[in-house]
Amino acid sequence: MSKLHQSSIQSDSIQHRLRQLFDELGLTIYQIAKDTDENPSKFYNILNGRAKPSYDTILNLLEQYPQISADFIFRGVRPILLSDTRKTPVLPDPDVVEIPFVPVRFYASFIESLGDSIQARDLETFGVGKSLARNHPNAVVIEISGNSMSPQLVSGAKVMAVPVDDGNWVYQSGGVFAVMYRDYLVIKRIRENNLLTQQHLTLYSDHPNGGSVTVHASDLRGLWKVVRIVEAPVE
């Protein structure tokens, strides 16, 4: 878990105790947000001192993780976790590497991450084979939203995508890409790349009813080339 901004957080504050608690749980903020059905941005704002946790949020944490000591959260009395309710750790598969995973419900937070303190290691993870991870460094796994790219990519499928350096955006064409522009993250096919000549990129859906979208160069924030389907639901 990344070390978030700490200059404005007092060592005896509830934000500081929550940071200690999350470190002790050994879970990413994305996983905690998923377990508690909360927006991960809420926890980042709390840990960065931009917000205080509500009573309902604390109760939600206590209900989801019974091993948490309420005395620690409210009064700072250790231990942080109750020893008799600790979860047994799961040993990792030696042939699998965990890489960052962006499920549909975290698209917005992933977009925010470019301008905030969220780091790749804070993301939820997805296990892929060692050789696959080695051949595609810095890759992420992204869940497909909707069926605009069907039949090849259906809703719920997960794809591995590698980042494209912004200096090479003008040369990308013909493949499927995860494209971040303005406040959107979409997975589309690039058929017309006019970034060099006309300062725009046209993105197409594979589904005949999916249509296309034209993105101006000034709105582009990130580009990842889809290199592999790593999981697909049964249709």
pLDDT digits (tens, 9 = 90+) for 60-112: 898 888 889 888 998 888 899 886 544 445 556 678 888 999 998 888 877 77
pLDDT number for residue 115:
46
CA distance 19 to 17: 5
* Residues 73 and 17: beta-carbon distance below 8 Å: yes
CA distance 60 to 38: 9
143-182 pLDDT, tens per residue? 999 999 988 889 999 999 999 999 999 999 889 999 999 9
Query: Which 3 state secondary structure label does DSSP give 73?
Result: helix
* Model confidence band, residue 186 (pLDDT cutoffs 50, 70, 90): very high
Q: Is the pTM of this model over 0.85?
A: no
Q: Which domains does the chain have, with CATH numbers?
A: 14-85 (1.10.260.40), 96-231 (2.10.109.10)
pLDDT number for residue 194:
95
pLDDT number for residue 11:
65
Phi, psi of 105 (to 5 degrees): -70, -10
Stretch 10-26: mean pLDDT: 85
- Both tokens of 65, joined, read 């993780």
DSSP 99-168: EEEE-GGGHHHHHHGGGSS--GGGSEEEEEEHHHHHHSTT-EEEE--SSTTTTTS-TT-EEEEEE--GGG
pLDDT number for residue 55:
86
